[in-house]
Structure 1
Amino acid sequence: MPVFWLIVIVLALAAVGFILGRARALQSAGGDRRDLHSLPIYYGSNVAMKSLVPAFLLMIGWLIAQPFAVNYAVSGMIPDSVISEGSSRGLILAEVRRTSDGLTNAVASGALTDDMARDAGADLDAVTTRLKDAGQVVTSQITQPVLHAAQRYRALNATGNWVMTGLVLLTALVGVLWGLKETNADFRARNVVEQGVMALLIAAASIAVLTTIGIVFSLIGNTWVFFNLYPAGDFFTLLEWAPSFSGRGGSSSLGVLPLLWGTFYISIVALLVAVPVGLFAAVYLSEYASPTVRSFAKPMLEVLAGIPTIVYGLFALLTIGPMLLSVFGPDGTGWMGGQRAVITAGLAMGIMLIPFVSSLSDDIINAVPQAMRDGSYGLGATKSETIKQVILPAALPGIVGAILLAASRAIGETMIVVLGAGAAARLSLNPFEAMTTVTAKIVSQLTGDSDFASPEALVAFALGMSLFVLTLGLNVLALFIVRKYREQYD
């Protein structure tokens, strides 16, 4: 059964349990809700919660654990002899999963019978031909071990899904019966429901931590596979980015340094635009602007944050680039050879980041207590002196946080870089030359028909892991700065 319909059925059982629990509570009190310990809605919520929560926890746990169990079972079917040099068992399992998906799609479209998709003795050529006719072949060549493993993978997944469906529905039904059994006039339903809601709130607060852990582990696995195929020393020290898709990528030069330099260079240019403009705008809106001007200017400034980045990329390509080319191009100073350059993407990205700096800084400056302003004015300081010597130092930790958010946004930007800065990976100090970033190369390496088992495709995960570590270090540094100045001005 599809997961969607399983969720719908569990929700329906919980709704029925809610109605029955509420009615049973009123019945136990003789129809007088004043004789109940809690409101009737709590009794119904208790039954619904005991049905929903265990069933959904079981379903989520099963969906997480099943792929690992199936991969472990199928991995033993792959002999070491089929793992060629430059490949790994994990990459063969990826081919098995894609072949399994192809078998499922071919059966659904009628191009392949279910018996042929299940039969381990099915003719390899016949299955391959029908998969090709159905447009389901996603690997260059299907071998007999891969086909057998794919058939086993498909069968185990199907069995696991049916077992999960039965257990989840049984758990939901048992939860309804359990909740109805303990429903009576003296049952402390409100206390139980509030404790359950508290547990759900704690679980929701833990999602950020669990998500971060999940991202890290998903990157680590493929990064490890990449470094088994390509030397880590070359990746972190080579000054050239030249992927080659010949063979299995043995002639590639995959040095990350030019990409990191392009990422930081474009981000620095963007911050040089966004930080002064955004901070000055925040000071004006919070300290100088009249309520009428503020009510109009602040929403208009924040509109910039809602513009899609592809629009900023087009703006960089069609407006900023030609404008800079007319000034610094062959007809001007001659410094700029084309409209795609670091400064083109940096200016467009800086405009995009202005509301991130201005809006957050404005809120932080407004949060500075009015008593600090009044005390400064009472000592004879002017408005400008108060801003420079009292307000900005007191708001500095929050302003650093706003700048950090803008920097993280700049480092992770892709579309503006692709359209405005070009795709050249180079080490240069010239802002009028085309460069590229880590995120842009991640997109390009995972786009197209390249062999996923090659270093050129797996390098995207190593790039993502490197970027994650760098941004984590940036966050730690900013946290240190914030704590240092917060202690100074508290």
Structure 2
Amino acid sequence: MGITGFTIFAVIALSILGYIVARVRALAGAGGDRRGLHSLPTYYGTNAAMFTAVPALGVLAIWLLAQPMMIENRVSAMIPASVIGEGSSIGLIMSDVRRVADGLDVVVAQGALGVDEAKNLSADTDVRKTLADVGVALGSDVKPEVLAAAQTYRASAQSGRLWMTAVVLALAAIGFVFSVAMSKPDFRARNTVERGVLALLMIAASLAILTTIGIVFSMLFESINFFRLHPWTDFFFGGSWAPNFRGDSDLSILPLLWGTLYISIIALAVAVPIGLFAAIYLSEYAGPKVRAIAKPLLEILAGIPTIVYGLFALLTVGPALVRIFGRGDEGLLGVEWMSGATAVLTAGLVMGIMLIPFVSSLSDDIINAVPQSMRDGSLGLGATPSETIRQVVLPAALPGIVGAVLLAASRAIGETMIVVLGAGAIAKFSANPLEAMTTITTRIVSQLTGDTDFASPETLVAFALGLTLFVLTLGLNVIALYIVRTYREQYD
């Protein structure tokens, strides 16, 4: 068990002890009669456990997040500019520093080096051989500056962990003593616990918002760095995508945006009619037994990993389309419009299949939410079931269905694996659905794959692409929510 695990275990054990002691103390103060207590005995114990564990574990979480950043800032300042300028970057150097520091931890843990030897290890020692003897692989020779930084990194991390344990356990002990001392019969334990639970719920709700803000700002700052190195006019208004990592790249989002929208439109053309018709059948025509079987079977499609859909596109749908549209006389149509299995149509068809349960499930819930009185009124006036669906149910559910379609569109725009395996990797403008194209998401993966220099525009462009994609999908979601909330009230 590491020192962090030991700290968490100690805090939890102390909180359990606080629960027991506070509960017993409160009952003892009331002479063993619960009626003499302001709150139930459980609240006194919960109050003690909460005061013991929550502040301590909160500080522990913040410490674990902040310590690596503080250590990296301190250690990165030790790296001379001459080392960084040798065809490398500070990010790659820090990766080597962390790898060497981890290696020193391993050799000390396995007894190959003593603690003092690891601190005083010099560059003259064959560090790579020492680390290799215990199975720690390094991709390059260890420079003296990297070794010194790794030793500082390791020492700072160890010192930080010790201080973390001391501070967290001290907070837990203070909370334990304070909460147990408060556990008297007249203490309003229930009110305190309820306020504490409310605060925890508010923090949990805020975390989602703060996470979204953090994601946006992280992409925004890197996008700003990209636009300092590459003109924004070429990114938004250029006509080609040709990164080459030599400083003369064409990095326009327009070909990628065209491929993204083209594939998404084909996917929606497949998913929306099938999903909507399936929802109408399940909600209006299917009996309870059929619905109980058909709806779960349809929603199983939503649980299939997207990589499986990608393989299905590559191995089944793509070759089937080639047999129809390609290979000259061998094709069923006698033409050669499609030269390979990867094409916009391949990815669009498979992505549409993936979106069918998404559209059908949302549409089914929306159609079922239409009041039954509207159906009864239409049928009572002599309309047939099909006329009722067309003229009453669907118009009433249309805002929600439009919202479901827009949400499905945002899901299609963000898809990656199906496009990687089914659509190809060519960024271009073309109206032919039988040609290979690519999307924004696949280019983001490509630009960030491998040992890339994060100071180059060819890598930073991935953040600009991600920010643009985020704004696009956010806009679709906002429009969907606006439509649903604006028009749904007419039928409540």
TM-score, normalization: structure 2?
0.88
Partner of 2:438: 436
Given that 1:103 and 1:117 are in contact with CA atoms closer than 8 Å, whether structure 2 keeps it comes out as: no
Report the counterpart of residue 33 of structure 1 in structure 2: 34
- Structure 1: where are the runs of 5+ without partners? none
Residues 73-126 of structure 1: CA deviation (Å, up to 9, x unaligned): 345435556654998xxx51552254133222244135776556545x932785
**Partner in structure 1 of residue 252 of structure 2:** 255
Gap change, CA 1:479 and 1:61, over 3 Å in 2:
same
**Partner of 1:206: helix, strand, or coil?**
helix
State the SS of the aligned residue for 1:352: helix
Aligned pair 1:92/2:77, yes or no? Answer: no
Q: Check conservation: 2:76, 2:94, Cα contact below 8 A.
A: no
Aligned-partner residue type, residue 469 of structure 2: L
Note closer, same or farther for the CA distance 1:444–1:302 as it changes in structure 2 (3 Å cut). same
Equivalent residue, structure 2, for 1:298: 295
Shift of 1:143: 5.4
- 1:471 partner amino acid: T
2:350 paired with 1:352 = no
Q: 1:259 to 1:106 in 2, by over 3 A?
A: farther
In 2: Cα distance, 1:367 partner to 1:198 partner: 32
CA contact (8 A) 1:75 1:93 kept: no
| 1:275 aligned residue (247, 252, 272) | 272
Secondary structure of 2:8's counterpart equals helix
2:54 equivalent to 1:53? yes
Match of 1:459 among 458, 461, 468: 461
2:6 aligns with 5
User: 1:196 matched to which residue of 2?
Assistant: 196
Q: Report the alpha carbon displacement of residue 305 of structure 1 after superposing the two structures with TM.
A: 0.9
Report the counterpart of residue 342 of structure 1 in structure 2: 344
Task: Label 1:97 to 1:429 Cα distance change in 2 as closer, same or farther (>3 A).
Answer: same
Contact 2:47 2:179 in 1 (8 A): yes
Distance 1:485 1:463 in 2: 33
Q: Quick one: structure 1 residues 70 and 463, their matched pair in 2 at CA, closer, same or farther if it must change by over 3 Å? A: same
Alignment of 1:168-187 (within 5 A): 168-187=168-187
1:48–1:176: 8 Å Cα contact kept in structure 2? yes
Report the Cα distance in structure 2 between the residues aligned to 1:316 and 1:115, rounded to whole angstroms: 58
Q: Structure 1 CA distance, aligned partners of 2:262 and 2:104?
A: 48
Q: Deviations over 1:398-429 (max 9, x none)?
A: 22232233222212222211221122222211
Asked if 1 retains the 8 angstrom alpha-carbon contact of 2:370 and 2:491, the reply is no
- 8 Å CA contact retained: 2:407, 2:476: no
User: Aligned AA for 1:260?
Assistant: L
CA contact (8 A) 1:241 1:256 kept: yes
Q: What does residue 101 of structure 2 align with?
A: 103
Output the CA distance in 2 between the equivalents of 1:36 and 1:241.
73
Match of 1:16 in 2: 17
Structure 1 residue 274, shift from structure 2 partner: 0.4
Which whole-Å deviations, capped at 9, do the CAs of 1:281-305 have from their partners, x for residues lacking one?
Answer: 1111111222222122111111111
Residue number in structure 2 paired with 1:314: 311
Figure out how many residues of one structure are paired with residues of the other and give that number. Answer: 482
Task: State the TM-score, normalized to the length of structure 1.
Answer: 0.89
C-alpha change, 1:475 and 1:327, in structure 2 (3 Å) is same
Question: Is the counterpart of residue 376 in structure 1 residue 378 in structure 2?
Answer: yes
Instruction: Tell me, in whole angstroms, the C-alpha distance in 2 between the residues paired with 1:453 and 1:124.
Output: 32
Query: Could you tell me how far 1:449 is from its partner in structure 2?
Result: 3.9
Structure 2 unaligned runs (5+)?
A: none
Q: 1:163 to 1:93 in 2, by over 3 A?
A: farther
- The equivalent of 2:220 in structure 1 is 220
Work out whether residues 67 and 160 of structure 2, in 8 Å CA contact, stay in contact via their aligned partners in 1. Answer: yes
RMSD between aligned alpha carbons? 2.8
1:106 touches 1:136 (CA, 8 Å); kept in 2?
Answer: no
CA distance in 2, matches of 1:464, 1:26: 58
SS at match of 2:480: helix
Is this contact kept in 2: 1:260–1:437, CA < 8 A?
yes
Deviations along 1:141-190, one digit per CA (max 9) or x if unpaired, are 76555554444333333222221111111111111111110012221211
Contact 2:103 2:136 survives alignment (8 Å): no
Which whole-Å CA distance do the structure 1 matches of 2:434 and 2:186 have between them?
Answer: 77
**d(CA) in 2 for partners of 1:472 and 1:116?**
54
Distance 1:240 1:109, change over 3 A: farther
- Specify the code of the residue in structure 2 equivalent to 1:104: D
Cα distance change on mapping 1:77 and 1:415 into 2, 3 Å: same
CA 1:97–1:164 in structure 2 vs 1: closer, same or farther (change >3 Å)?
A: farther
